[in-house]
Protein backbone atom coordinates (compact mmCIF):
# COMPACT_ATOMS: atom_id res chain seq x y z
CA UNK A 1 0.00 0.00 0.00
CA UNK A 2 1.30 3.46 -0.91
CA UNK A 3 2.05 5.77 2.01
CA UNK A 4 0.02 8.96 1.45
CA UNK A 5 1.21 10.72 4.63
CA UNK A 6 3.07 13.91 3.60
CA UNK A 7 6.78 13.81 4.35
CA UNK A 8 7.78 16.01 7.28
CA UNK A 9 10.27 18.72 6.42
CA UNK A 10 13.32 19.39 8.58
CA UNK A 11 14.45 22.95 9.20
CA UNK A 12 17.30 24.90 10.79
CA UNK A 13 16.54 28.27 12.39
CA UNK A 14 18.96 30.96 13.51
CA UNK A 15 18.78 34.38 15.12
CA UNK A 16 22.52 34.84 14.38
CA UNK A 17 23.63 35.12 18.01
CA UNK A 18 27.19 33.80 17.83
CA UNK A 19 29.46 35.69 20.25
CA UNK A 20 31.56 37.26 17.47
CA UNK A 21 31.51 40.52 15.44
CA UNK A 22 28.58 41.08 13.08
CA UNK A 23 30.43 40.12 9.90
CA UNK A 24 31.56 36.85 11.45
CA UNK A 25 28.01 36.15 12.62
CA UNK A 26 26.87 36.37 9.02
CA UNK A 27 29.71 34.14 7.80
CA UNK A 28 28.97 31.55 10.49
CA UNK A 29 25.23 31.54 9.80
CA UNK A 30 25.82 31.06 6.08
CA UNK A 31 28.11 28.12 6.83
CA UNK A 32 25.55 26.63 9.22
CA UNK A 33 22.85 26.80 6.56
CA UNK A 34 25.16 25.31 3.91
CA UNK A 35 25.98 22.50 6.34
CA UNK A 36 22.28 21.92 6.97
CA UNK A 37 21.73 21.60 3.22
CA UNK A 38 24.59 19.12 2.94
CA UNK A 39 22.98 16.90 5.57
CA UNK A 40 19.58 16.97 3.90
CA UNK A 41 17.71 19.69 5.80
CA UNK A 42 14.77 20.95 3.77
CA UNK A 43 14.50 24.53 5.06
CA UNK A 44 16.53 27.27 6.74
CA UNK A 45 14.97 30.19 8.59
CA UNK A 46 16.38 33.49 9.84
CA UNK A 47 14.85 36.02 12.21
CA UNK A 48 14.84 39.79 11.81
CA UNK A 49 15.80 42.02 14.74
CA UNK A 50 16.60 45.72 14.87
CA UNK A 51 19.15 47.37 17.17
CA UNK A 52 19.51 44.77 19.94
CA UNK A 53 22.44 42.45 19.20
CA UNK A 54 21.65 40.15 22.14
CA UNK A 55 18.16 39.46 20.77
CA UNK A 56 19.16 38.88 17.18
CA UNK A 57 21.94 39.83 14.80
CA UNK A 58 20.15 40.39 11.50
CA UNK A 59 18.20 43.53 10.54
CA UNK A 60 18.17 42.72 6.80
CA UNK A 61 17.04 39.10 6.31
CA UNK A 62 16.32 39.24 2.58
CA UNK A 63 19.77 40.70 1.86
CA UNK A 64 21.38 37.92 3.88
CA UNK A 65 19.27 35.20 2.24
CA UNK A 66 20.30 36.45 -1.21
CA UNK A 67 23.90 35.80 -0.15
CA UNK A 68 22.97 32.33 1.12
CA UNK A 69 20.99 31.56 -2.03
CA UNK A 70 24.15 32.03 -4.09
CA UNK A 71 25.95 29.46 -1.91
CA UNK A 72 23.21 26.80 -1.87
CA UNK A 73 21.10 25.02 -4.46
CA UNK A 74 18.29 23.07 -2.80
CA UNK A 75 17.45 24.17 0.75
CA UNK A 76 14.43 26.45 1.04
CA UNK A 77 15.10 29.87 2.57
CA UNK A 78 12.62 31.47 4.95
CA UNK A 79 12.10 34.49 7.18
CA UNK A 80 10.93 33.81 10.69
CA UNK A 81 9.84 36.56 10.77
CA UNK A 82 9.99 39.90 8.97
CA UNK A 83 8.66 42.62 11.29
CA UNK A 84 6.28 43.97 8.68
CA UNK A 85 5.05 47.11 10.53
CA UNK A 86 8.62 48.48 10.46
CA UNK A 87 9.07 47.91 6.72
CA UNK A 88 8.01 49.64 3.53
CA UNK A 89 5.64 46.95 2.23
CA UNK A 90 6.32 47.62 -1.45
CA UNK A 91 10.07 47.26 -0.89
CA UNK A 92 9.49 43.99 0.98
CA UNK A 93 7.36 42.75 -1.91
CA UNK A 94 10.00 43.75 -4.48
CA UNK A 95 12.96 42.28 -2.59
CA UNK A 96 11.17 39.00 -1.90
CA UNK A 97 10.09 38.69 -5.52
CA UNK A 98 13.63 39.21 -6.81
CA UNK A 99 15.07 36.85 -4.20
CA UNK A 100 12.61 34.14 -5.18
CA UNK A 101 13.67 34.39 -8.82
CA UNK A 102 17.39 34.38 -8.00
CA UNK A 103 16.97 31.38 -5.67
CA UNK A 104 14.91 29.44 -8.24
CA UNK A 105 11.71 29.51 -6.21
CA UNK A 106 13.06 28.60 -2.77
CA UNK A 107 11.67 31.48 -0.68
CA UNK A 108 9.26 31.10 2.26
CA UNK A 109 8.03 34.31 3.92
CA UNK A 110 7.06 34.55 7.57
CA UNK A 111 5.55 37.82 8.78
CA UNK A 112 5.01 39.10 12.30
CA UNK A 113 3.93 42.23 14.14
CA UNK A 114 7.22 42.67 16.03
CA UNK A 115 8.48 42.51 19.57
CA UNK A 116 10.57 45.22 21.25
CA UNK A 117 8.49 48.41 21.72
CA UNK A 118 11.55 50.69 21.60
CA UNK A 119 12.26 49.56 18.04
CA UNK A 120 9.01 51.18 16.92
CA UNK A 121 10.00 54.49 18.52
CA UNK A 122 13.21 54.62 16.49
CA UNK A 123 11.16 54.15 13.31
CA UNK A 124 8.80 56.96 14.31
CA UNK A 125 5.93 54.59 15.04
CA UNK A 126 3.83 53.68 18.06
CA UNK A 127 4.14 50.10 19.27
CA UNK A 128 0.50 50.13 20.34
CA UNK A 129 -0.50 50.60 16.68
CA UNK A 130 1.49 47.64 15.38
CA UNK A 131 -1.56 45.49 14.70
CA UNK A 132 -3.25 48.07 12.49
CA UNK A 133 -0.01 48.87 10.67
CA UNK A 134 0.65 45.17 10.10
CA UNK A 135 -2.78 44.65 8.54
CA UNK A 136 -2.33 47.63 6.17
CA UNK A 137 1.17 46.61 5.13
CA UNK A 138 0.21 42.98 4.60
CA UNK A 139 -2.62 44.01 2.29
CA UNK A 140 -0.16 46.05 0.18
CA UNK A 141 2.25 43.11 -0.04
CA UNK A 142 -0.51 40.72 -1.09
CA UNK A 143 -1.83 43.13 -3.71
CA UNK A 144 1.67 43.72 -5.04
CA UNK A 145 2.54 40.04 -5.39
CA UNK A 146 -0.81 39.32 -7.03
CA UNK A 147 -0.18 42.00 -9.66
CA UNK A 148 -3.07 44.20 -8.57
CA UNK A 149 -2.86 47.95 -9.05
CA UNK A 150 -1.32 49.85 -6.16
CA UNK A 151 -1.98 53.44 -5.08
CA UNK A 152 -1.34 55.60 -8.12
CA UNK A 153 -2.10 52.77 -10.54
CA UNK A 154 1.33 51.12 -10.77
CA UNK A 155 1.88 47.37 -10.55
CA UNK A 156 4.81 45.50 -9.04
CA UNK A 157 7.59 44.32 -11.30
CA UNK A 158 8.33 41.51 -11.13
CA UNK A 159 5.06 40.18 -9.77
CA UNK A 160 5.24 37.11 -7.55
CA UNK A 161 1.87 35.36 -7.29
CA UNK A 162 3.69 32.16 -6.30
CA UNK A 163 4.65 33.75 -2.98
CA UNK A 164 0.99 34.08 -1.99
CA UNK A 165 1.07 30.35 -1.23
CA UNK A 166 4.23 30.56 0.86
CA UNK A 167 3.22 33.02 3.59
CA UNK A 168 3.51 32.02 7.25
CA UNK A 169 2.10 33.70 10.35
CA UNK A 170 3.72 33.41 13.78
CA UNK A 171 1.49 33.48 16.84
CA UNK A 172 1.26 32.66 20.55
CA UNK A 173 -2.54 32.63 20.64
CA UNK A 174 -5.54 30.55 19.66
CA UNK A 175 -7.00 33.61 17.92
CA UNK A 176 -3.80 33.96 15.92
CA UNK A 177 -3.97 30.31 14.90
CA UNK A 178 -7.53 30.76 13.71
CA UNK A 179 -6.52 33.90 11.77
CA UNK A 180 -3.66 32.09 10.01
CA UNK A 181 -5.97 29.21 9.16
CA UNK A 182 -8.69 31.44 7.68
CA UNK A 183 -6.05 33.13 5.52
CA UNK A 184 -4.79 29.75 4.30
CA UNK A 185 -1.30 30.66 5.47
CA UNK A 186 1.22 28.51 7.27
CA UNK A 187 1.26 28.48 11.09
CA UNK A 188 4.53 29.13 12.93
CA UNK A 189 4.76 27.89 16.53
CA UNK A 190 7.53 29.22 18.73
CA UNK A 191 10.27 27.31 20.55
CA UNK A 192 8.94 28.79 23.80
CA UNK A 193 6.12 31.08 24.83
CA UNK A 194 4.84 32.89 27.91
CA UNK A 195 2.88 30.99 30.55
CA UNK A 196 -0.10 32.50 32.29
CA UNK A 197 -0.33 33.07 36.03
CA UNK A 198 -3.05 30.42 36.12
CA UNK A 199 -0.90 27.84 34.32
CA UNK A 200 2.77 28.59 35.09
CA UNK A 201 3.82 24.95 34.60
CA UNK A 202 1.92 24.28 31.36
CA UNK A 203 3.89 22.38 28.74
CA UNK A 204 4.37 23.73 25.23
CA UNK A 205 2.10 20.97 23.96
CA UNK A 206 -0.68 22.06 26.31
CA UNK A 207 -0.34 25.64 25.04
CA UNK A 208 0.18 24.92 21.35
CA UNK A 209 -2.15 22.02 20.58
CA UNK A 210 -5.20 24.32 21.02
CA UNK A 211 -3.56 26.77 18.58
CA UNK A 212 -3.21 23.95 16.05
CA UNK A 213 -6.85 22.94 16.64
CA UNK A 214 -8.01 26.51 15.89
CA UNK A 215 -5.76 26.73 12.83
CA UNK A 216 -7.10 23.50 11.35
CA UNK A 217 -10.69 24.53 12.08
CA UNK A 218 -10.19 27.82 10.25
CA UNK A 219 -8.38 26.38 7.24
CA UNK A 220 -10.40 26.56 4.00
CA UNK A 221 -11.62 23.24 2.63
CA UNK A 222 -9.02 21.62 0.41
CA UNK A 223 -6.18 23.76 1.72
CA UNK A 224 -3.29 21.60 2.92
CA UNK A 225 -2.10 22.55 6.42
CA UNK A 226 1.40 23.95 6.92
CA UNK A 227 2.39 23.83 10.58
CA UNK A 228 5.91 24.71 11.68
CA UNK A 229 7.00 23.64 15.15
CA UNK A 230 10.22 25.32 16.29
CA UNK A 231 12.14 23.86 19.22
CA UNK A 232 15.35 24.71 21.08
CA UNK A 233 17.72 21.79 20.58
CA UNK A 234 21.42 21.25 21.15
CA UNK A 235 22.79 17.78 20.45
CA UNK A 236 26.35 16.75 21.36
CA UNK A 237 28.41 13.60 21.55
CA UNK A 238 28.83 14.04 25.32
CA UNK A 239 25.91 14.74 27.66
CA UNK A 240 28.28 16.26 30.23
CA UNK A 241 29.66 18.70 27.65
CA UNK A 242 26.17 19.53 26.39
CA UNK A 243 24.99 20.33 29.92
CA UNK A 244 28.11 22.38 30.67
CA UNK A 245 27.47 24.58 27.65
CA UNK A 246 23.76 24.71 28.39
CA UNK A 247 24.45 26.06 31.86
CA UNK A 248 26.64 28.84 30.44
CA UNK A 249 24.11 29.86 27.80
CA UNK A 250 20.96 29.56 29.89
CA UNK A 251 22.40 31.47 32.85
CA UNK A 252 23.40 34.22 30.46
CA UNK A 253 19.86 34.26 29.10
CA UNK A 254 18.37 34.31 32.59
CA UNK A 255 20.56 37.27 33.56
CA UNK A 256 19.24 39.21 30.56
CA UNK A 257 15.66 38.47 31.54
CA UNK A 258 16.28 39.64 35.11
CA UNK A 259 17.95 42.81 33.80
CA UNK A 260 14.83 43.43 31.69
CA UNK A 261 12.65 43.21 34.80
CA UNK A 262 11.41 39.63 34.53
CA UNK A 263 11.18 37.42 37.60
CA UNK A 264 13.42 34.31 37.48
CA UNK A 265 11.59 30.97 37.53
CA UNK A 266 14.40 28.97 39.14
CA UNK A 267 18.13 28.78 39.57
CA UNK A 268 19.16 25.16 39.07
CA UNK A 269 20.17 23.95 35.62
CA UNK A 270 17.15 21.64 35.47
CA UNK A 271 14.85 24.58 36.27
CA UNK A 272 16.51 26.71 33.58
CA UNK A 273 16.18 23.94 30.99
CA UNK A 274 12.48 23.69 31.81
CA UNK A 275 11.96 27.47 31.87
CA UNK A 276 13.59 27.95 28.47
CA UNK A 277 11.91 24.86 26.95
CA UNK A 278 15.28 23.44 25.90
CA UNK A 279 16.14 19.93 24.72
CA UNK A 280 19.81 19.18 25.34
CA UNK A 281 22.09 16.15 25.45
CA UNK A 282 23.14 13.21 23.31
CA UNK A 283 20.88 11.98 20.49
CA UNK A 284 19.25 9.38 22.75
CA UNK A 285 18.50 11.95 25.48
CA UNK A 286 16.92 14.53 23.17
CA UNK A 287 14.95 11.95 21.20
CA UNK A 288 13.31 10.89 24.44
CA UNK A 289 12.43 14.44 25.49
CA UNK A 290 11.20 15.46 22.03
CA UNK A 291 8.97 12.39 21.77
CA UNK A 292 7.15 13.59 24.89
CA UNK A 293 6.11 16.75 23.00
CA UNK A 294 2.83 15.76 21.33
CA UNK A 295 2.77 18.97 19.30
CA UNK A 296 5.52 17.62 17.10
CA UNK A 297 3.37 14.69 15.98
CA UNK A 298 1.08 17.22 14.28
CA UNK A 299 3.54 19.55 12.56
CA UNK A 300 4.48 19.41 8.90
CA UNK A 301 7.80 21.16 9.54
CA UNK A 302 10.22 20.26 12.34
CA UNK A 303 12.51 23.25 12.87
CA UNK A 304 15.37 23.34 15.36
CA UNK A 305 17.57 26.11 16.77
CA UNK A 306 20.38 26.21 19.34
CA UNK A 307 19.07 29.28 21.17
CA UNK A 308 19.28 30.00 24.12
CA UNK A 309 22.26 27.70 24.65
CA UNK A 310 24.26 29.23 21.78
CA UNK A 311 27.30 26.94 21.83
CA UNK A 312 30.45 27.66 19.80
CA UNK A 313 30.14 27.53 16.01
CA UNK A 314 31.94 24.17 15.48
CA UNK A 315 29.56 22.51 17.94
CA UNK A 316 26.55 24.01 16.15
CA UNK A 317 27.79 22.33 12.97
CA UNK A 318 28.14 19.03 14.82
CA UNK A 319 24.64 19.44 16.30
CA UNK A 320 23.25 19.95 12.79
CA UNK A 321 24.90 16.70 11.70
CA UNK A 322 23.57 14.74 14.68
CA UNK A 323 20.05 16.12 14.19
CA UNK A 324 19.98 14.99 10.55
CA UNK A 325 21.59 11.59 11.08
CA UNK A 326 20.21 10.56 14.49
CA UNK A 327 17.47 12.73 15.95
CA UNK A 328 15.15 13.75 13.11
CA UNK A 329 14.89 10.22 11.63
CA UNK A 330 13.71 8.98 15.03
CA UNK A 331 10.94 11.62 14.91
CA UNK A 332 9.62 10.53 11.51
CA UNK A 333 11.74 12.62 9.14
CA UNK A 334 13.45 11.14 6.12
CA UNK A 335 15.55 13.05 3.60
CA UNK A 336 14.44 13.43 0.03
CA UNK A 337 15.51 10.51 -2.11
CA UNK A 338 17.93 12.66 -4.01
CA UNK A 339 19.21 16.21 -3.73
CA UNK A 340 18.91 17.58 -7.23
CA UNK A 341 20.16 21.19 -7.70
CA UNK A 342 17.52 23.47 -9.15
CA UNK A 343 18.05 25.15 -12.48
CA UNK A 344 17.99 28.94 -12.63
CA UNK A 345 14.51 30.10 -13.55
CA UNK A 346 12.70 27.05 -12.18
CA UNK A 347 10.23 28.87 -9.97
CA UNK A 348 7.62 26.89 -8.01
Tens of pLDDT, residue by residue, the chain (348 residues):
344 568 999 999 999 999 999 999 999 999 999 999 999 999 999 999 999 899 999 999 999 999 999 999 999 999 999 999 999 999 999 999 999 999 999 999 999 998 788 899 999 999 999 999 999 999 999 999 999 999 999 999 999 999 999 999 999 999 999 999 999 999 999 999 988 888 888 999 999 999 999 999 999 999 999 999 999 999 999 999 999 999 999 999 999 888 878 776 778 999 999 999 999 999 999 999 999 999 999 999 999 999 999 999 999 999 999 999 999 999 999 998 765 444 444 454
Helices (H), the chain: 22-38, 61-71, 89-102, 117-122, 130-146, 174-183, 204-218, 239-259, 269-275, 283-291, 313-322, 328-330
Burial zone of 153 (CB within 10 Å; 0-12 exposed, 13-18 middle, 19+ buried): exposed
- Give the CA distances from residue 241 to residues 28, 235, 313, 315, in Å, rounded to whole numbers and listed in that order: 21, 10, 15, 10
Measure the CA–CA gap between 123 and 249, rounded to whole angstroms. 31
What pLDDT sits at residue 324? 97
What pLDDT sits at residue 262? 79
As a whole number of Å, the end-to-end CA separation of the chain is 29
What pLDDT sits at residue 272? 94
Amino acid sequence: MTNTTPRKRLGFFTRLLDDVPAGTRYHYAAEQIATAERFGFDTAWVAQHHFHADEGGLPAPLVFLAHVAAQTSRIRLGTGVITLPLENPIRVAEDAAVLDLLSCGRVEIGFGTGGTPSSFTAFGLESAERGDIFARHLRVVLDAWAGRSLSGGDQLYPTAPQLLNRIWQATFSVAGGERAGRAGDGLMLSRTQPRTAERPDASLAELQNPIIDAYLAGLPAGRAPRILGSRSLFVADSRAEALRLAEIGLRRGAERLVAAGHKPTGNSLAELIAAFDVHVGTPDHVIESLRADTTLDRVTDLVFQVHSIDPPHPLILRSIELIATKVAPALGWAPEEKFAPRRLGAVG
